[in-house]
Amino acid sequence: MDYLSTSAIVITIFGAVLNIFLPYFDLTVNQFTKWLGKKSAPPSVEWLGGKSSAIITTQSTDLPVTKSTWSLSPAQKVLGAFAIIVIIYGILILRRYWHVLKDNEDSVYFALGLFLTMIAGMFVQVLASNYKLGNPLLRITASQLIFPLLFSIIVFYPIWAIAASATHSFFSIHAAFLNGYFWESVVSSAHPPKAPEAGSKG
């Protein structure tokens, strides 16, 4: 297996793990937001009557510990089990072809850089669309950012095809960002691969 195929496997595993853990990300953000809200609760206020009445504020540092409501749905449990399988497979692949990856570190890092650039393009598209609707630039939800990433592997494939057949250049970075920004067009134009015709000779 050459370094291009190995790098493609690594990128695919990275994208698959990312996609699988996306449903947990929104839940984690919500839990963190609730916890942060409790930590920043306003101080308690006491009124002392009498001639020298005054308002005394006290900041409580010991917040009551509440039982976590974090629960996973059956679908999330299935995704979690599949994520474990993908991670194990990725570890086996990395162990088997580690020497190949070490010999082609530049290509692997370049591919990962393209993948991150593509994600940056997706995020910019979400921000721009939200701003065009008259909303504040950063008033977006985690779900809005997460949704495009579900199609990351589909959007990344043509980028990797260009990068694998050409020298590493800024054009590949430019193409990665544009593919991320126009991810909806890329996904809508994607078609299932055609099966080879019966009797055809290679």
Q: Which residues contact 194 (CB under 8 A, 6 or more apart)?
A: none
Check whether 35 has a pLDDT greater than 90: no
pLDDT band at 169 (very low <50, low <70, confident <90, very high): confident
Distance CA 153, CA 186 (A): 11
How much is the pLDDT for 58? 46
Q: What is the Rg, in whole angstroms, of the alpha carbon atoms belonging to the chain? A: 25
Cα 77 to chain centroid distance, Å, stands at 19
Check whether 43 has a pLDDT greater than 60: no
Query: What's the predicted TM-score (pTM) here?
Result: 0.65
Q: Which residue has the higher pLDDT, 48 or 8?
A: 8
pLDDT in tens, 135-157: 888 888 888 888 888 888 889 88
How much is the pLDDT for 197? 63
How much is the pLDDT for 162? 78
Tell me which residue of 21, 38, 17 sits closest to 142, measured CA to CA: 21
Alpha helices in the chain (DSSP H): 3-39, 74-96, 98-103, 105-132, 142-149, 152-165, 170-181, 183-189
What's the whole-number average pLDDT of the chain? 74
